[in-house]
Structure 1
């Protein structure tokens, strides 16, 4: 990540989507796996602000929450023996 790039932050009560969220006060990591889960106050210090590290490894063929539940069939690569 470039130094000039601003860090994305999220506040408790928001639905930031899947990813890792690091408390800006104590550094505690909170993970969210669901697109509709609320970000909670930090379990350690009750801070409400987090630095966001969104999930970036989502497959390009996954476009909707329904695709996550029922992912399209992956194309199999031909095996070379």
Structure 2
């Protein structure tokens, strides 16, 4: 569980990066999948503050935007 003092927040108008953002007032979830997408005011209650749940499942072999578009082949288990 995340301690309240370590929880990150983001404000509408920022470009916080890919992840899930939960409205601190009504709990509505906003998904952002681009690094240059703005976080908008909550469509439900017009709140501007969100708790951040950044993406954490990025593969270690993905290092550049080009890798995202053309990911390296994964190694098959048991083969070298």
Uncovered stretches (5+) of structure 1, i.e. residues with no partner: none
**Matched position secondary structure for 2:21:** strand
Uncovered stretches (5+) of structure 2, i.e. residues with no partner: none
Q: Indicate whether 1:37 and 2:37 are aligned.
A: yes
1:5 is displaced (CA, Å) by: 5.0
User: Equivalent residues in 2 for 1:2-81 (5 A)?
Assistant: 2-3=2-3, 5-78=5-78
1:11-66 CA-to-partner distances (Å, cap 9, x unmatched) read 11111111110001111000111122111110111111100000101101112222
Over the aligned positions, Cα root-mean-square deviation in angstroms equals 1.7
TM-score, normalising length from structure 1? Answer: 0.85
- Of stretches 28-37 and 4-13 in structure 1, the one that deviates more from structure 2 is 4-13
Displaced runs of 4+ in structure 1, greater than 6 A? none
CA contact (8 A) 1:35 1:65 kept: no
